Structure 1
């Protein structure tokens, strides 16, 4: 097992799970944060900011492996960060995405050229993305968006973390690109129904036009290019559901968790108010 593992974005959806599962596996963990944060007992905390490479020097001391999340829409500064990592560590596990957007593809290439042993994780849509519906579901029990029949295989953040932990702590994952999904495809309307069932609060889908949905996204602060990308992908998945892979089970030995299990764990976020 590596000497010490640095987890970037340690308070994020996946990063927090990676920290917890590494501790459960008995690994020495250092969590990188930009401010105060609570972690499981035994986790070493280091303060730093990926956008300021010089701030990472202390965090990288005595680290042999890094779980890297690059939370920016460009690779500006990544080369400097990778140089620092390579001066201290020998292995990096990078959280990319199945969309492999331009900056993610460029990041993957920089990592390949860094001299580090690398593994890339390419998850499809997160089950946690369903949290965007929580306010509508808690309120009137109606989710009004576009492309209710867009089908995708949602992946639980714990499964992404479990694959990451295997790649961080075990041999045999160098040079791998792991495409991660859940065990079955569900339409958005089906996801909403399941969330309501688990929260014991009837919920139904109300179809909106793509134009209306786009305005809603912009009102919530989504960049226009991101809103357009999401709607384009959803339109495609109404005709052709997103793929299903067996990668989680192949890497971890355990079947991928279902969306139903994720929904059952997060009922508090969707229970009706009042």
Structure 2
């Protein structure tokens, strides 16, 4: 039963991890969060912040003591160190839920393979486009009411972070999710330009999309310090979504029993981020 469980959340200080921790608390689960600095983590009330470092798996024994399941957000662009971490996890618990991605990049594939070989009971979450990606437009919208980017016609089914967290919680404390690979999307296909228009509707002021060239956007991202392979990967994916959008899945509802939230609902939850 949920009230008898204790879950360790690795990555609890991010948008997704915070939602996982909060929803576990709502379900009556004891939540422990791994952090390098428990004093400044700023976690939801009721979450036990514990000191630990993923780069040193030896520090995880204490945080894992008494834990029955682990939510893992792996923050590195390499799978180096994963096997050592899993050995420590396996000495304390048998269930792990790993936040991968729909792209299943090389390091994510390697992490998944390591988990599959670990002997743990696992569930993989592969989200597609996050609705929260729209927060990158907040500054432009607040300042000018316009978003300047390429590929306004790129279409995707934006996923609310609450729905991703709800699936994670179901897999962490429920039955029937072992060995599942969940492709997660929102319930509707929207272009980037349509998302911007909806944001304007919800905040009560016109917001428009202004198309710029991919070359200009690439240079802008590079100047911000983004690695070239990451920049090219993002722009190539957006270009592909103009003609080949990601398919919508019903996995959120199948895993939780509740339909996925719309992008409109996400904007309503975050409207303050886009208002002046």
- TM-score, normalised on structure 2? 0.96
- Cα distance in 1 for residues equivalent to 2:202 and 2:64: 42
Map of 2:198 onto structure 1: 194
User: In the alignment, is residue 22 of structure 1 matched against residue 19 of structure 2?
Assistant: no
Map of 1:131 onto structure 2: 135
Q: Is the 2:5–2:173 contact (alpha carbons within 8 Å) kept by the matching residues of 1?
A: no
**Which of 85, 109, 117 is the equivalent residue of 1:81?**
85
Map of 1:13 onto structure 2: 15
Map of 1:46 onto structure 2: 50
Map of 1:178 onto structure 2: 182
Deviations, residues 42-65 of structure 1 (Å, cap 9, x unaligned): 322111121222222211111121
- Cα distance in 2 for residues equivalent to 1:109 and 1:146: 35
- Cα distance in 2 for residues equivalent to 1:124 and 1:163: 14
- Cα distance in 2 for residues equivalent to 1:200 and 1:222: 33
Map of 1:250 onto structure 2: 254
- Cα distance in 2 for residues equivalent to 1:177 and 1:226: 25
- What count of residue pairs does the alignment treat as equivalent? 272
Alignment of 1:1-274 (within 5 A): 1=1, 3-35=5-37, 36-272=40-276
Q: Is the 2:183–2:251 contact (alpha carbons within 8 Å) kept by the matching residues of 1?
A: yes
Deviations, residues 44-93 of structure 1 (Å, cap 9, x unaligned): 21111212222222111111210001111000111111111001111000
Q: Is the 2:18–2:44 contact (alpha carbons within 8 Å) kept by the matching residues of 1?
A: no
- Cα distance in 2 for residues equivalent to 1:229 and 1:256: 27
Gaps of 5+ in 1: none
- Cα distance in 1 for residues equivalent to 2:102 and 2:149: 23
Deviations, residues 161-208 of structure 1 (Å, cap 9, x unaligned): 000000000111000000000001100001111112212221111111
- Cα distance in 1 for residues equivalent to 2:61 and 2:196: 45
Gaps of 5+ in 2: none
- Cα distance in 2 for residues equivalent to 1:132 and 1:185: 19
- Cα distance in 1 for residues equivalent to 2:142 and 2:226: 22
How large is the Cα RMSD of the aligned pairs? 1.1
Q: CA deviation at 1:152?
A: 0.2
Q: CA deviation at 1:141?
A: 1.2
Structure 1 runs of 4+ aligned residues shifted over 3 Å read none
- TM-score, normalised on structure 1? 0.97
